[in-house]
């Protein structure tokens, strides 16, 4: 009945209002005398009662000839977290903040979404090497792929970059797509989700965006941590999540950190992300790396021998994507020089992609010296504490890391417990300024620099 009423209302109420106020309403109960509908929050409840009560009564009458009383209740789950915000105002602020006007237009319809499943053919379970670092995530992924919606929902996988999250997510997709029983599955990067949503807001077609997801049985979103700070999209994702969860449809997410460490993520999403299974992919062990090099080199048509596999795995330790980069590097050079990939060849040429550890100033060293000289703990430096006595040493640490090492801004940020590379840029500027004004600080930094470079005989 309620769907029929909503359809009826579509004619009466402007599109925008329809999607703003009615998109998340649900029928609770219905009798000749009383129609009970649940809404998301008090704000929407008031809007509907003020502006559309008569429309609803009329529509019900048209649909079934009854004239029940209308009762709007606020859904239990939302009671403690009512956002009395104005959707439009929020959306506007959001567009400006995100520079959304520049996003490409995406049509939120099912065909378009279907086409968006662009999977890498190589990211299958067969090509995935299982080891202690990923066996739990792998097992969970297999379970979900075999029985979507029936085991862990949502499945939430997290881990640092280059450790196989996207590979596992896509392996699930491959499995489900090739199973005899066809499912409507969608694989989206979080950015795609955000872009599509923003476009739908721009076109006043949020309802269309939502409808799209109604046709989907399995939703896979990669790098969900990009929802950080994106309040309006979080709001929307919350609805999508609930829709899937309530219908026992499978949700699969990946992230670079566990739910509670994604910054500025609404608590209700954090808790929902933990409802199913949260599983980590970790840095692979040596044996796993060797197995990966073996497999990858074979897949690429030139299996490396054992000593080469081991040599590569000894030298590239923390990132499988880099491991793969090294394999590609060796393959390209062997092609170029028309030489076989022997251990000598690998030793000679891997130097080009590996920065030898001993000539490189390491971040822990900087951290140690800074902590000592500023009389704070390393935990403080890596914490989120905002006290000035810690902020300055932390910023000094980032400044020195930037100045003295080749680490990327993001790597430095991560090492100091921050996730955004702009934090490091900001710290560098800050310390440059402070240095000019504060003679003590300046001397301290000269001192520290000397200690760090001296210890490491750098340059
Ligand atoms: P993430 O999404 O976590 O950043 P990816 O899934 O993109 O990482 O993985 C990076 C590369 O490493 C891909 O080429 C992937 O195939 C490969 N890879 C990661 N883990 C494994 C594994 N266990 N076995 C084989 N290849 C792997
Ligand atoms: Mg990825």
Instruction: Quote ipTM for the complex.
Output: 0.99
Going by pLDDT thresholds of 50, 70 and 90, the confidence category of residue 87 is very low
Going by pLDDT thresholds of 50, 70 and 90, the confidence category of residue 64 is confident
pLDDT of 116 strictly over 60: no
The CATH number fitting domain 2-79, selected from 3.50.50.60, 3.30.300.180, 2.40.30.110, 1.10.3720.10: 3.30.300.180
With the most atoms of ligand 1 within 8 angstroms of its CB, the residue from 131, 167, 300 to mutate is 167
Residue 114 annotated as part of some ligand binding site: no
pLDDT of 113 strictly over 50: no
Ligand nearest to the backbone CA of 163 = 1
Q: Distance (Å, rounded) from C-alpha 398 to C-alpha 25?
A: 49
Comparing CA positions, the residue from 317, 86, 112 lying closest to residue 211 is 112
Other C-beta atoms lying within 10 Å of the C-beta of residue 218: 22
210-233: per-residue pLDDT in tens? 888 887 889 999 999 999 888 889
Query: Which protein residue has the closest C-alpha to ligand 1 atom 26?
Result: 128
pLDDT of 459 strictly over 60: no
- Write out the H or E segment, with its range, that includes residue 47: helix 42-64
User: What residue ranges of the chain are covered by domains with CATH 3.40.50.300?
Assistant: 108-280
* 164 Cβ closer than 6 Å to some ligand 1 atom: yes
Ligand nearest to the backbone CA of 171 = 1
* 300 Cβ closer than 6 Å to some ligand 1 atom: no
Q: Which of 4-18, 68-82, 112-126 has the highest mean pLDDT?
A: 4-18
Ligand nearest to the backbone CA of 319 = 1
pLDDT of 242 strictly over 90: yes
Q: Which residues surround ligand 2, an ion (CB under 5 A)?
A: 165-166
b/e sequence 259-290, b meaning 16+ C-beta within 10 Å: beebeebbebbeebbeebbbbbbbbbeeebbb
Residue 356 is given by DSSP the state: P
Residue 166 annotated as part of some ligand binding site: yes
Q: Distance (Å, rounded) from C-alpha 274 to C-alpha 408?
A: 31
* 163 Cβ closer than 6 Å to some ligand 1 atom: yes
Q: Which of 342-356, 366-380, 401-415 has the highest mean pLDDT?
A: 366-380
Q: Mean pLDDT across the stretch 102-108?
A: 28
Residue 274 annotated as part of some ligand binding site: no
**pLDDT of amino acid 3:** 86
**pLDDT of amino acid 78:** 53
**pLDDT of amino acid 351:** 78
For the entire predicted model, the pTM comes to 0.60
Closest ligand 1 atom number to CA of residue 323:
12
**pLDDT of amino acid 310:** 95
User: What residue ranges of the chain are covered by domains with CATH 1.10.8.60?
Assistant: 288-354
Q: In sequence order, which residues have a C-beta less than 8 Å from that of residue 41 and are 6 or more positions away?
A: 74, 78, 82, 83, 84
* More confident of the two residues 417 and 251: 251
User: What residue ranges of the chain are covered by domains with CATH 3.30.300.180?
Assistant: 2-79
CATH T-level fold of 288-354 = Helicase, Ruva Protein; domain 3 (1.10.8)
The per-type count for the chain, helices as H runs and strands as E runs, is: 21, 8
- Write out the H or E segment, with its range, that includes residue 141: helix 135-146
143-179: per-residue pLDDT in tens? 999 999 999 999 999 998 899 999 999 999 989 888 7
Going by pLDDT thresholds of 50, 70 and 90, the confidence category of residue 346 is very high
Domain at 108-280: CATH code: 3.40.50.300
Q: Does domain 359-456 have CATH number 1.10.1750.10?
A: yes
**pLDDT of amino acid 76:** 66
CA distances from 328 to 301, 320, 338, 341, 353 (A): 11, 12, 15, 12, 11
């Amino acid at each position: 009945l309620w769907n029929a009423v909503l359809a009826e209302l579509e004619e009466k109420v402007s599109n925008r209002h329809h999607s703003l106020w009615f998109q998340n309403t649900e029928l609770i109960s219905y009798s000749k005398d009383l129609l009970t509908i649940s809404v998301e929050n008090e704000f929407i409840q008031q809007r509907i009662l003020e502006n559309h009560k008569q429309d609803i009564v009329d529509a019900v009458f048209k649909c079934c000839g009854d004239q029940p009383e209308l009762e709007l209740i606020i859904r239990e789950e939302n009671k403690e977290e009512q956002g009395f915000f104005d959707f439009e105002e929020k959306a506007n602020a959001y567009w400006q903040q995100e520079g959304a006007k520049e996003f490409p237009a995406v049509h939120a319809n099912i065909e378009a979404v279907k086409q968006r499943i662009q999977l890498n053919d190589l990211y299958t379970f067969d090509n995935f090497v299982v080891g202690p670092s990923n066996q739990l995530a792998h097992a969970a992924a297999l379970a979900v792929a075999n029985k979507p919606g029936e085991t862990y929902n949502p499945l939430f996988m997290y881990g640092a970059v280059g450790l196989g999250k996207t590979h596992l997510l896509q392996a699930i997709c491959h499995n489900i797509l090739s199973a005899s029983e066809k499912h409507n599955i969608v694989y989206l990067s979080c950015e795609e989700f955000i872009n599509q949503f923003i476009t739908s807001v721009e076109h006043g077609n949020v309802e269309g965006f939502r409808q799209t997801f109604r046709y989907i049985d399995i939703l896979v979103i990669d790098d969900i941590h990009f929802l950080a700070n994106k309040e309006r999209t979080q709001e929307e994702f919350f609805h999508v999540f609930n829709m899937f969860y309530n219908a026992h449809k499978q949700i699969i997410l990946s992230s670079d950190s566990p739910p509670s460490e994604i910054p500025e993520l609404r608590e209700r999403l954090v808790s929902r992300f933990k409802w199913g299974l949260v599983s980590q992919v970790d840095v692979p062990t040596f044996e796993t790396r060797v197995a990966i090099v073996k497999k990858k080199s074979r897949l690429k048509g030139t299996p490396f021998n054992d000593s080469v596999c081991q040599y590569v795995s000894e030298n590239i330790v923390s990132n499988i994507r880099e491991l793969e980069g090294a394999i590609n590097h060796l393959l390209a050079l062997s092609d170029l020089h028309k030489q076989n990939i022997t251990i000598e060849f690998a030793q000679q040429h891997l130097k080009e992609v590996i920065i030898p550890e001993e000539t490189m100033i390491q971040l822990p060293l900087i951290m140690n010296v800074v902590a000592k000289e500023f009389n704070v703990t390393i935990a403080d430096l890596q914490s989120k504490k905002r006290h000035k006595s810690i902020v300055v040493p932390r910023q000094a640490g980032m400044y020195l890391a930037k100045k003295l090492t080749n680490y990327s801004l993001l790597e430095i940020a991560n090492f100091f417990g921050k996730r955004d590379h702009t934090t490091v840029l900001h710290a560098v500027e800050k310390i440059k300024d402070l240095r000019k004004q504060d003679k003590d600080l300046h001397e301290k930094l000269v001192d520290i620099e000397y200690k760090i470079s001296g210890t490491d005989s750098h340059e």
